[in-house]
Amino acid sequence: MHPITIDALAAFPLQLEAHFAAIPSEFRHWTPASWEGVPSEPFTAIEQICHVRDIEIDGYQLRFRRTLAEVNPLLVSIDSDALAGERAYAAADPGAVFAAFRAARAETVELLSSLHQEQFKRCAEFEGYGPVTLRGLVHYLCSHDQQHLAGLQWLLGKIEAARL
C-alpha cells in the first residue's frame, strides 16, 4: 500500500473535525431546500460525521477483516438512511462521535500498516462495485473520506446561500 494513502487515512479524523467545526452550531442539524449536487450522502452536518463513524466500523473494518479471513467474500453495502434512523444520528453528541471515530480510524490504520503487500491482493466481491482487492477497498475508503469533506464544504456553501 502506498504510504500516501495510509497517511491520508491517518490524517482524516482531524480534517473531519476541522470541517465540522466550520459549520455554525445553529446549522449542524440544518437541511437545505434541495440536496441536488451534494457530493456525499444527503445528510446534515451531524449526520455526516455519524455516517463516517459507522461506515468505518460497520463497513470498512468489517470488510477488511472478511477479505483477509475469507475466500472471495460478498461484502454487502450498508443502507445509510436506515442506519441514520436506527441510531438516531440527529441526537448524537459530536464529541462522542469524534472520540469513537478517532479510535476506530486508529485501529484501521494500525491494521493496514501491519499487512504485507501480498495481503492487499486478496479479493472480494463488493456489492454495487463488483470485484475488488483489499487494496481497492482501502482506496474506496479514502475516497469516501474525501466525499464527506466535500459534503461538509457543500453544506457551508448552501448555508451561505441561505443567509442571503
Q: Which pLDDT value is given to residue 118?
A: 97
Q: Which three cell numbers stand for residue 97?
A: 462521535
Q: Which pLDDT value is given to residue 151?
A: 98
Extended strands (E) in the chain: 74-75, 123-126, 130-133
| Backbone phi and psi for residue 41, each to the nearest 5 degrees, phi listed first | -65, 150
Tell me, rounded to whole angstroms, the distance of Cα 24 from its chain centroid: 21
Give strand pairing partners of 156: none
Q: Which pLDDT value is given to residue 46?
A: 98
Q: Which pLDDT value is given to residue 152?
A: 98
Q: Which pLDDT value is given to residue 122?
A: 98
Total count of residues recorded for the chain: 164
Q: Which pLDDT value is given to residue 69?
A: 98
**pLDDT < 70 stretches in the chain:** none
Domain boundaries, the chain: 3-162
2-49 pLDDT, tens digit per residue, is 999 999 999 999 999 999 999 999 999 999 999 999 999 999 999 999
CATH fourth-level superfamily of 3-162: dinb family like domain (1.20.120.450)
Q: Which pLDDT value is given to residue 76?
A: 95
The pairing of beta strand 74-75 with beta strand 123-126: parallel
Q: Which pLDDT value is given to residue 77?
A: 95
Q: Which pLDDT value is given to residue 63?
A: 98
